[in-house]
Structure 1
Amino acid sequence: MDLKALTLSAVVLSAVVLSTLPLHAEVAGKPIAKGFERPVWAGVPQGVEGKLWVMEQAGRVWIVDIASGKWSDKPFLDVRELVSRKGNEEGLLGLAFPKDFQTTGRYYVNYTDKEKQTKIVRYTSADKQTTDPATAEEILVYPSEFENHNGGWIDFGPDGYLYIGNGDGGSGNDPKQRAQDLGSLLGKMLRIDVSPEKGYKVPADNPFVGNAKAKPEIWAYGLRNPWRNSFDRETGDFWIADVGQNQWEEVNFVPKGKGSGADFGWRLREGLVATPTGGVGGEAPKAYEPIYVYKHGMGEKEGLSITGGYVYRGSAVPELKGRYVFADYQNPRIWSFVEKDGKATDFKDHTKALQPEGGRINLISSFAEDNKGEIFLLDHSGVVYQIVEKK
């Protein structure tokens, strides 16, 4: 037996096999459920697998079986009678499950009511399948002023506190200068402790506690309309996608433990550019620099309204591992990049690859993440997709 010859043959065969394999697998968009009325959020409580809670902007939340696409017989929550849909950006906009939801049944929602107020409300679900509206407890209420820029995102951070992303109150160019006004909750990222049996507490280490001219709930400010934010489930880093005015969309990356008291710049600037001198104008000397900005337009790296996403920490799509996945709502493109030393690197466009067979993802209103780190995306026209590896 010629071992040398056999070894050489094996090496050649291995080289041939490897040369025929793709360098990486492609991603794909797999529809899992459809027929929703303007879906704007989806998520799942800790400890649950195979299900997805899907929110409709008009005021309902459904539980969906991912494998079959079947909806729950009854909505998990129905607050349509309380929610305003007069404005295009109004409605039921966010939901957050605390870690102990499976024990307490308590959870939180963010919606705009019929008096143009934003309400953060605590509900309790006794059976974890439906919710009695009578369990509602209003935690925080404040005016939205106009019908747009309501933010709407809420979630629990790694520190256990509830974070609330607020828009600047609406209209255009922040006419009442709310984003830079520490006496207003608008245009801010709030941080509160909802662990008490009733109401909430302000965390003692919030940056403006003790400042008589500032709202103590404020954690950071200078935001225009943060539309979909996320905490990296592996690192605890914070990602904030802020919708721009007329020129620029931006992504802000906040490493874990940083960002308290940060000014993200609006309305002193939009993206990295100072706003026109006819407005507030000037530089924001201490503004937190975005990790990525893109210009308005309909090109491959342009858009008109950002939809923030997640850093992929799942295992089903190795191609996306460690990549921040996000999109644009009006120019329906889906992108990703890798954060390295605070910079956006290795930018990729996944728009074409993610289009389903015989269909098209039109208006990406939100992303979602399950407990395994797999990512879903919501089309405002009514379909929920999962990002999978192309077979």
Structure 2
Amino acid sequence: MFSKAALSCAALLTVATASARIGVEKLGEKFERPVWVGQPAGITDKLWVIEQVGKVWIIDAKTGARAEKPFLDISSDVSRKGNEMGLLGMAFAPDFKTSGRFYVNFTDGSIKTRIVRFTANKSNLMETEASSAEVLFTYDQPYQNHNGGWIDFGPDGYLYISAGDGGAGDDPQNRAQDLKTHLGKMLRIDVSPAKGYTVPKDNPFVGKSDAKPEIYSYGLRNAWRCSFDRKTGDFWMGDVGQNKWEEIDVMANGKAKGANFGWRLREADVPNPNGKIAGDNPPGAIDPVYVYKHGGGKTEGNSVTGGYVYRGPIKELEGRYVFGDYQNPRIWSFELKGGKASGFKDLTDELKPEGGRINLIASFGEDNAGSLYVVDHSGPIYKVVEK
């Protein structure tokens, strides 16, 4: 007997694979455990690459040539206990070209998550003023996994922060459903003040004594990589599963404040396979738009890596959500029609590098032209191109 999740996935598998008009180009030399690539608004000739060990490098967007010195080196502040800790996310202020402000998300030596603001040298935005570091926000990490790590600005100008459930198995303290903790949540803060941050007045739990005001949505296990559709403003999340299922979640632009994505009661769109903690959909729950089961097959995997709705120059990919799996390194895409995934395509073969393969899909990236990048945790950065 098929589960609801299995049927959701199986319904998409009859669609033919993508046309063979796309490929990837490797950008430059290998990096040490890269986890993100991107660029600030208004800059097109450079890309910024995060290394999990605590460094940020600038590379030439065409050749991949790396700057002689890192743009930022906080390796002495970053904890690398366990595979999931370290420097995990970065976001540029929308006005970076004038303010020089950017933000990083990392775990420190005391096993806390830190959200820190830095300011680049305004006379040379390719350099950072190390003394400008300002810790804006911290919260404890009880275990060494499920740290979240993604961070970026939404179309509303606020900073969004993915906080995992804190780790171990099956969220033993049920933190994702507990509004008194930041863990297992999507957070939203206003970093426009000269110092510190404020909480947006329209955050859904502002003024409630039994909830953290920074919470925007909850019931997440570990939304490792997320993105905003630059055309519609819709918010996409790849939430890593545990027992049997991986999921892609979507919050329509401005329409899902306070949404509950169900973890740990639910995994994907079914009750948690651990019957001791499984339950029905809680009030306000939003089911994923796409799920896939654990395994090593062509439509399976064990750790989803959220991607982007493609808005770049390749017409064949326009409007398609491109994502992958970290452990079973495959890349897929689909369109969202009527709130449901449609037209599933396996892009793995098209996006296979010449003479090799992408080993560990840690992240995807997007530049200002909408072009897509694939970050291989084993070292290389690839750009998706039309052939």
TM-score by length of 2: 0.93
Residue 236 of structure 1 corresponds to 233
- Amino acid across the alignment from 1:236: G
**Given the alignment, which residue of 20, 27, 30 partners 2:22?**
27
Contact conserved, 1:25 with 1:319, CA < 8 A, in 2? Answer: no
3-state SS, counterpart of residue 129 of structure 1:
strand
Query: Where does residue 246 of structure 2 map in the other structure?
Result: 249
Which of 191, 194, 198 does residue 188 from structure 2 map onto?
191
Deviations 1:333-383 (A, max 9, x none): 000000111110000001011111111111000000000000001000100
Q: Conserved in 1, the CA contact under 8 Å of 2:20 and 2:350?
A: no
Amino acid across the alignment from 2:334: F
Question: Which amino acid counterpart does residue 327 of structure 2 have in structure 1?
Answer: Q
1:288 aligns with 2:264: no
The one-letter amino acid of 1:70's match is A
Q: TM-score under structure 1 normalisation? A: 0.92
In the aligned structure 1, how far is the partner of 2:28 from the partner of 2:280?
46
**1:22-47: CA deviation from partner (whole Å, max 9, x where unpaired):** x9552101111231000001110000
Identity of aligned residues (%): 61
What pairs with 1:304-319 in structure 2 (closer than 5 Å)? Answer: 304-315=302-313, 317-319=314-316
Determine the structure 1 residue equivalent to 2:3: none
What is the CA–CA distance in structure 2 between the aligned matches of 1:277 and 1:373, rounded to whole Å?
Answer: 40
8 Å CA contact 1:231–1:237 kept in 2: the answer is yes
Deviations 1:144-201 (A, max 9, x none): 1100000000000000000001100011100111000000000000000000000000
Inter-partner Cα distance in structure 2 for 1:35 and 1:300: 27
Corresponding position of 2:342: 345
Look up the match of 1:155.
152
1:44 matched residue in structure 2: 39
Structure 2 residue identity aligned to 1:207: P
Call closer, same or farther: CA 1:250–1:78 in 2, change over 3 Å. same
2:84 alignment partner in structure 1: 89
Distance 2:46 2:310 in 1: 19
Match of 1:108 in 2: 103
- Letter in structure 2 aligned against 1:246: N
Task: Structure 1 unaligned segments of length 5 or more: list them.
Answer: 1-22
CA RMSD in angstroms, aligned pairs only? 1.1
**Which has the greater radius of gyration?**
1
User: Alpha-carbon deviation of 1:292?
Assistant: 0.2
Aligned equivalent of 1:13? none
- Relative to structure 1, the CA distance from residue 131 to residue 291 in structure 2 (aligned partners, 3 Å threshold; closer, same or farther) is same
1:140: which partner in 2? 137
Q: Which runs of 5+ in 2 are unaligned?
A: 1-17
Matched, 1:177 2:174: yes
Equivalent-residue separation in structure 2 for 1:50 and 1:57 (angstroms): 23
* Structure 1 residue 205, shift from structure 2 partner: 0.4
Instruction: Tell me the equivalent position of 2:377.
Output: 380
| 8 Å contact from structure 1 (residues 33, 69) kept in 2 | yes
- For the residue of structure 2 that corresponds to 1:95, the secondary structure is strand
Alignment of 1:44-63 (within 5 A): 44-63=39-58
Aligned twin of 1:70: 65
Q: Please tell me the residue identity of whatever aligns with 1:380.
A: H
1:278 deviation in Å? Answer: 4.7
Q: Secondary structure at the match of 2:98?
A: helix
Contact conserved, 2:191 with 2:197, CA < 8 A, in 1?
yes
Residues 277/243 of structure 1: CA separation in 2 closer, same or farther (3 Å cut): closer
Distance between the aligned counterparts of 1:57 and 1:276, measured in 2? 32
CA–CA separation in structure 2 for the residues paired with 1:166 and 1:68? 34
Task: Report deviation, 1:50.
Answer: 2.3
Say if 2:161 is the partner of 1:167.
no
For 1:81 and 1:206, the matched residues in 2 are separated by: 35
Match of 1:9 in 2: none
Question: Structure 1 residues 362 and 334 mapped into 2: Cα distance closer, same or farther (>3 Å)?
Answer: same
Q: Contact between 1:74 and 1:130, CA under 8 Å: does it hold in 2?
A: no
Q: How does 1:208-219 map to 2 (within 5 A)?
A: 208-219=205-216
Shift of the alpha carbon at 1:389? 1.1
State the partner residue of 1:331.
328
2:263 is matched by which residue type in structure 1? W
Q: Quote the offset at 1:90 in angstroms.
A: 0.2
* Whole-angstrom CA distance in 2 between matches of 1:82 and 1:277: 37
Q: Residue 259 of structure 2: which of 240, 259, 262 is its match?
A: 262
**Moved >3 Å (runs of 4+):** 276-279
**Per the alignment, in what secondary structure is the counterpart of residue 199 of structure 1?**
coil
Shift of 1:117: 0.1
